[in-house]
Amino acid sequence: MNEEILEALYSIGLTKGEAAVYSNLSILGTSTVGPIIDKSDVSASKVYQILDRLMTKGLVSMMLNERKKQFTALPPEILLKYLDDELEKIESNKERISSIIPILKANQESADNSPVAEFVKGERSFINITTNLVSNLDEEGTYYSLAGTRTGFKLRKYWFEHSQMISEKKQRQLVTYEKKQWVDNDPKIHRRKERKEYYPVVLAEDDLDFPNIAIYGNNTFLSDFDENGTIFGLVIRNKTLTNSFVKLLKYIRKKGFVPEGFQKAPDE
């Protein structure tokens, strides 16, 4: 099965099994479950559950022919209708969530029980926690970061947005890069020349394989990838430890050089 088709179906929220069944049923036309199982590589115990979910989503129909259930994938244009329906649900849910956010936020603030250490896993959780850390920054401070290659490449489309959020807090950005992370970049994605109060330093070629370390106020955020290639992060909310990490990052920065086209930070 065409991987591009499957990836597109995953992107609209279909599971691996649903995408395989829908795409293969589109090829089969109208079919009983036997050929669907053979072509889609799903188990007989799960195929009916998958077909039932696809019918609930309005993507598959079923009819009885000589007491046998036969299934048909509805025309591919129905996928756009499915997305429109999902969008309506999202907009409705956004309104409901927006109405309760002030209550939830007030509850969190009154509890004042943020954990000293907090573990997150997955790209979406990474972006959510860093966005939250930036939103809680005081204005006119300094953001320090050691940009490890592994995290840097994986989330390269996120860093410019991240930098803009920090700029809105009027924070200086003192970022130290592994050389590979600095050199192998796409100007249209990284947009480093457009960043404000941004003072990059690049390490020597043999200084490599660092995790990502970022300082947000009195919080330290360490991140890297596990053995399965999943990004994870650890937030440490401790001023003393964070001050120690700041000293470490300042020491590492002294080993690097300011790349062409950029300036040294005023107090360095």
What is the structure's pLDDT at 185?
Answer: 72
Q: How high is the pLDDT of residue 85?
A: 84
pLDDT of residue 96: 86
Contact 144, 221 (CB under 8 A): no
Global confidence as pTM: 0.61
pLDDT tens for 52-96 read 999 998 889 888 877 888 899 888 888 888 888 888 888 888 888
Q: How far is CA 230 from CA 1, 17, 117, 122, 151, in A?
A: 26, 22, 19, 6, 10
Which amino acid, residue 4?
Answer: E
Query: pLDDT tens, 180-190?
Result: 878 777 777 77
Q: Who contacts 107 (Cβ-Cβ below 8 Å, separation ≥6)?
A: none
CA atoms within 13 A on the CB side of 181: 29
pLDDT value at 8 more than 60: yes
Average of pLDDT values for 84-110? 80
Torsion over CA: 266, 205, 224, 236 (sign): negative
Domain ranges of the chain: 3-76, 117-253
H helical segments located in the chain: 3-11, 16-28, 33-40, 44-56, 78-111, 123-135, 149-154, 159-168, 179-183, 187-190, 239-253
Model confidence at 250: pLDDT above 90: yes
Q: What are phi and psi of 213, to 5 degrees?
A: -125, 125
| Answer CATH for 117-253 from 3.40.50.720, 3.20.20.70, 1.10.3720.10, 3.30.870.10 | 3.30.870.10
- Beta strands 68-73 and 30-31, pairing class: antiparallel
User: pLDDT category, 101, cuts 50, 70, 90?
Assistant: confident
Residue that has been written with the tokens 């070629």 in this structure:
205
According to the model, what pLDDT value does residue 229 have? 85
CA distance 56 to 60: 8
* pLDDT tens figures, 189-213: 778 888 889 999 999 878 778 899 9
DSSP-derived 3-state class of residue 166:
helix
Whole-number pLDDT of residue 145: 94
- Return d(Cα 215, Cα 146) in angstroms, integer: 9
**Unique residue bearing structure tokens 């920054």:** 137
CB 214 within 8 A of CB 147: no
Cα separation, 19 vs 6, whole angstroms = 6
What percent of the chain stands above pLDDT 90? 30
pLDDT for 50: 93
Q: Tell me the three state secondary structure of residue 193.
A: helix
Spatial separation of the C-alpha atoms in residues 268 and 265, rounded to whole Å? 5
Contact yes or no for 44/33 (Cβ under 8 A): yes
Q: For the structural domain made of 3-76, what CATH number should be given?
A: 1.10.10.10
- Banded pLDDT at 109 (limits 50, 70, 90): low
164 by DSSP, 3-state: which? helix
Residue type, position 199, single letter: Y
| Total Cβ atoms within 10 A of residue 218 | 18
